[in-house]
Amino acid sequence: MSSEFRPARLTLVSHHLCPYVQRAVIALMEKGAPFQRRFIDLAAKPEWFTALSPLGKVPLLLVEPAGAPQAVLFESSVICEFVEETVEGPKLHPDDPLERARHRGWMEFGSTILADLWGLETATDAAGYERARARIVDKFARVEDVLGNGPYFAGDAFSLVDAVFAPIFRYFDLFDTLADTAVFAALPRVQAWRQALSVRPSVRAAVEPDYPDRLRDFLVRHDAFLLKQAA
């Protein structure tokens, strides 16, 4: 940790469903960093938020260093890296530069899966749903090939890669109650990883208790094919 940086207060501007917010929460919790959360409605963004957020997205991390003006950090990967570099606690990146770069690559890969998940949850017909599902299956097959014996991506050490993938797996906690997506059916290492992450305290605490209801409401608003299968 940098000996020159001493944050006085951290505030994470959040949305209840955002997986990118969740990865930032997980990183902060794994480090044991005290922080506050401030939820906003992205469908009715407050003026103070649009003034602070260059991209109009969450998360934002509002950093108030001791004796200095507030700084605003945006983009979840930037926030996670900042937390790793400045907050004392367990390391969430490998020490080896090559392995650290490899982890960053798989974090980006996780973000591409989130893009496919958007297609899965907003698909309104069977064809769109199946296209998105097939892309996700293919990507997780690649993940299966690089996983070891676990329980986490890097073995015994929890890392930022785990923080990225935990919110992805959380979607399927609800999806599995609606339809047999079969995304993980032939991927035993991925299944074991998903289970290990699901019981991690930081992962469980990254969302509010009403998360499943909010996600279901999202599916209803988008006339999701997933709900039609459940019916």
Q: Could you give the CA distance from residue 224 to residue 34 in angstroms, rounded to a whole number?
A: 37
Question: Is residue 3's pLDDT more than 60?
Answer: no
Q: Could you give the CA distance from residue 10 to residue 28 in angstroms, rounded to a whole number?
A: 10
Confidence of residue 231 (pLDDT cuts 50, 70, 90): low
> What DSSP character marks residue 188?
H
Question: Is residue 68's pLDDT more than 90?
Answer: no
Q: Which residues pair with 37 in a beta bridge?
A: 12
Calculate mean pLDDT across residues 175-192. Answer: 96
Q: What is the pLDDT of residues 19-49, one digit of tens each?
A: 999 999 999 999 999 999 999 999 999 999 9
The answer to whether the Cα torsion of 153, 117, 82, 11 is positive or negative is: negative
Q: What is the pLDDT of residues 126-165, one digit of tens each?
A: 999 999 999 999 999 999 999 999 999 999 999 999 999 9
> What DSSP character marks residue 183?
T
Q: Is 66 exposed, middle or buried (CB count within 10 Å of its CB: 0-12, 13-18, 19+)?
A: exposed
pLDDT of residue 205: 98
Question: Is residue 4's pLDDT more than 60?
Answer: no
Confidence of residue 109 (pLDDT cuts 50, 70, 90): very high
Calculate mean pLDDT across residues 111-115. Answer: 97
Non-local (6+) Cβ contacts of 68 within 8 A are none
Question: Is residue 67's pLDDT more than 90?
Answer: no
Question: Is residue 74's pLDDT more than 60?
Answer: yes
- For residue 7, the surrounding DSSP H or E stretch is strand 7-14
pLDDT of residue 126: 96
Half-sphere exposure at residue 143, Cβ-oriented, CA atoms within 13 angstroms:
37
Question: Is residue 2's pLDDT more than 60?
Answer: no
When mean pLDDT is compared across 33-42, 66-75, 112-121, 187-196, the lowest value belongs to 66-75
When mean pLDDT is compared across 62-66, 70-74, 92-96, 123-127, the lowest value belongs to 62-66
In Å, the largest CA–CA distance within the chain is: 57
Non-local (6+) Cβ contacts of 78 within 8 A are none
pLDDT of residue 18: 98
Question: Is residue 50's pLDDT more than 90?
Answer: yes
